[in-house]
Amino acid sequence: MSQDRKQRRDAAANRERILTAAGEAFRRSGMAVDMRAVATAAGVGIGTLYRHFPTREHLVQAVTGTDLAALARAPLPTGSSAVDGLREFFTATITGLVANQAMIDVLAGGSPSDADLQRCLAHLTKIGQEAVDRSQGDRTLARDVTADDIAYQLLGLIRIAQLLPDDEPAAIAHQVELALRALAAH
């Protein structure tokens, strides 16, 4: 086996260990994770970490990019009213996010110029438009609710999830219901 191939295999293994350690650390502690702690948890030196990921943002992107992509594909549930579909969508989204503090940090405070974040916002607005269109038939949303309003309500819920002392399903459900009251037809 050539020395170059062995080095490439070692580098790939180091990168995977860094991603695994960073994923766990970011999910648990959010963006405040110390990069030295990530390197230590991965069993590599800080120089190795920075060779693979020159900045914290590069590492966060590598760890959260797939999660953001999944969020940008999540559909509005079918077979229910607009408000019930939003309830299910909001609850599933927030419940999934509370297990990943870094994702909440990225969505609650991420740079609007970030391409992955922009894709998520565009998708959330699309979900909002689907709900508004559905509500034209079932009249479960207030007439003045827009697709942007729905996207902003979900972003607000994400910020609230960042502040909740725990990820209790009842606390999440309560916050979702409060947001839906603002959107629902009266």
Cut 0.85: pTM above it: no
What CATH code is carried by the domain that includes residue 144? 1.10.357.10
Domain holding 26, by residue range, is 3-54
What CATH code is carried by the domain that includes residue 17? 1.10.10.60
Distance separating alpha carbons of residues 94 and 167, to the nearest angstrom:
9
pLDDT in tens, 110-134: 655 577 777 888 899 999 999 999 9
Region of 185 (left: φ > 0; alpha: ψ -120 to 50; beta: rest) is: beta
Once rounded to an integer, what is the mean pLDDT over residues 134-140? 97
Distance separating alpha carbons of residues 134 and 53, to the nearest angstrom:
44
Question: Residue 139: pLDDT band by 50, 70, 90 thresholds?
Answer: very high
Same domain, 73 and 164: yes
